[in-house]
Amino acid sequence: MKKRSADTSPRARALFAAAALATALAAPCAFAGPTAAPANAYAYIGYPNDGQTVPAGKPFKVWFGLRYMGVAPRGVKFPNTGHHHLLIDVDLPPMDQEIPSDRNHLHYGAGETETLLELPPGKHTLQLLMGDDKHIPTNPPVYSKKITIYVK
C-alpha cells in the first residue's frame, strides 16, 4: 500500500486557512466578558494629564471620561452601560474574569465619574477599565490609555 503525503498545494493551503479562520470567528470570544459594549466606546482620564506632577501629601482629583456608552451602578444591567474601575500601577487584568478589588484595582460601583486619590511620592500609572453589572469587562473591552503621573 502506497503512503499518501499531505496535500500542500496552494489550493489546499487556502482551503485550510479559510476553514481555520471560519472556526476562529465562529468560536465564542474568551478574551472578554458576556456584556456587549458599543464598538466605538472609549474611556479616558480627563485629569490628571499624562506626565503631570501632582503634590504629595494631599488628595488630588481624578476624573473619568467615557464616550458612546453610559455609566450605571453595579448591579444595574442596562444596554451599553457599565461602571468605572481605576487601575493603579498595574496592567489590565484578564478580560473574561471579574476585575479584582484591591488597592491597585479601585471599583466605582455607585456610578462615580471622579474620585479623590492620594498616592505616595514617586512615579505611578493610572488606567480606567469599564466593567459590567458584575464587575466583568465588557465585550469589546472599554479602557483608557495608561497614563503616567508623578507625585512630588
CATH number at 92 reads 2.60.40.10
- In a 10 Å sphere around its CB, with 0-12 CB exposed, 13-18 middle and 19+ buried, how is residue 135 labelled? buried
What confidence score (pLDDT) does residue 32 get? 80
- Whether 57 is covered by a domain: the verdict is yes
Count Cα neighbours of 99 within 13 Å in the Cβ-side half-sphere.
Answer: 34
- Number of structural domains the chain divides into: 1
Range of the domain at 82: 42-151
Alpha helix (H) residue ranges in 5-147: 10-26
Q: Is the residue at 140 inside a domain?
A: yes
Over the stretch 88-118, which tens digit does the pLDDT of each residue have?
999 999 999 999 999 999 999 999 999 999 9
Question: Torsion angle of alpha carbons 33, 34, 39, 43, nearest 10°?
Answer: -50
pLDDT, position 12:
55
CA dihedral 118, 119, 125, 127 (to 10 degrees): -30
For the entire predicted model, the pTM comes to 0.79
Using the predicted structure, report yes or no on whether residue 22 has a pLDDT greater than 90.
no
Is residue 35, in this structure, part of any structural domain at all?
no
